[in-house]
Amino acid sequence: MRIDDIWWNQLSNPILLLDDVTDCLLDNQSVVVVYHNDLPWRETLMEALDRKIEPYSSNMSIKHHTLTDTQDPGAFLLKKCCSQEIQQKYWPTDSKALFLAEHEAVVLNNSYVVIDLAGNSDKWISFIKEYTACFKAEDRHGLFILFTQDKKYLESSRKTSDETDNTSPVQFLDYTSYIHDYDTYLLCMTILSQKGLSMQQQQYLSEIAIALAGESTQLAGELADRGEALAEHTLPVFQETLQTLKLPVERIDQRVQYALWQAQLKVFFPLLEQFRRQLFETYRTDITERFHAAPSGTYDCERPEELEIGQLLFLFKQTRILSMRDYELLQSAKEARNCLAHLNHLSYPKLKVWLSMNFRQQN
């Protein structure tokens, strides 16, 4: 499945947004979807929206327009929705909203009009309200779905699908009330689950993609879709993806270094703790005996279970009870921890050793 289809047709929260848009239309209300910086895969969004609306649009057509705020709504709709004959009947001093509403032959009155608007939304929202006010509540009329970044309308956006004001002619939906960071993470994990990687590798690559992408869901998804190449060749993969999406990003080198470090902190340290606990359980008796036999103050903890990686390495250096494999892993764990603690990141081959390990679940 394509990643844009996963986002708009498989993940629950993007689908919920489309469901709520559809519910508003069924309540005879127009909808304004306010988003912040990212509206991913617009074309797929519009296709998914059409599929949601079509079962209820037997007597309504669906029209899509991408516009700027410099265009007057009334003048635009007069030209797009009226025949030349009807346009000639319009007198410049008349209200365009009232004129359009009064003519049954106007296409607008039997349409769902989807507007992807760049810029200020005031004129469009005012027009929608004026147009809707020309009808009785039960009358069928044209309905609008407006997508805008005009953030002053965020306060008008309802937070949940349970807070709908059925008396309002226009509902405002806040995109970020539906879509959260976890949704982007879930998208990346879904993409990577199809690439034959371990769960730890999927988590690591998802964290890299999200750290690099910032607030852009589409960028995160496209990066995750590169699979293991994202970890092996992070900088060129990031640059190529930015060029493909035509996205400008400053200080790319620094961003990559920080993203790798941040992703490794999130993924490696839990693995390190699992390794420490498993090592303790494997050698519990020997560790406990040597811990209690050591002079007071040798270890800065009260119980042997609390010994951290460096202390365990010191303890095992005094004995030969550890297998060579476990000793090498313990040494590697300490070096990796110190590397990350000094704001550096591990090479992917070194990290991959840990990402490929399966630890027993501890009770």
Summarised one tens digit per residue, pLDDT across range 206-234 is 999 999 999 999 999 999 999 999 999 99
Query: Quick check: is 362 in a domain?
Result: no
Interval 70-93 mean pLDDT: 91
Residues 218 and 110 in one domain: no
**Considering the chain, what is the average pLDDT of its residues?**
91
Residues 80 and 116 in one domain: yes
User: Which pair of structure tokens corresponds to residue 320?
Assistant: 């030969």
* pLDDT above 70 (res 157): no
Residues 34 and 172 in one domain: yes
Residues 164 and 64 in one domain: yes
Cα distance between residue 165 and residue 29, in whole Å: 10
User: How would residue 98 be classed by pLDDT, with cut points 50, 70 and 90?
Assistant: very high
pTM: 0.88
User: Which pair of structure tokens corresponds to residue 121?
Assistant: 């939304």
Whose CA is closest to 32, among 107, 132, 108, 181?
A: 132
* pLDDT above 70 (res 163): no
Whose CA is closest to 221, among 254, 249, 244?
A: 244
Share of the chain above pLDDT 70, in %: 95
Instruction: Decide which of 312 and 69 is more confident.
Output: 312
Residues 222 and 135 in one domain: no
* pLDDT above 90 (res 27): yes
Give the per-residue pLDDT at 156. 63
Instruction: Decide which of 165 and 307 is more confident.
Output: 307
* pLDDT above 80 (res 165): no
Residues 157 and 288 in one domain: no
* pLDDT above 90 (res 68): no
Q: Is 129 helix (H, G, I), strand (E, B) or coil?
A: helix
Residues 110 and 55 in one domain: yes
Residues 187 and 163 in one domain: no
Interval 338-356 mean pLDDT: 94
User: Which pair of structure tokens corresponds to residue 214?
Assistant: 């910032």
Write out the residue range of the structural domain in which residue 244 sits: 181-355
Alpha carbon distances (Å) from 265 to 95, 171, 344 = 61, 42, 10
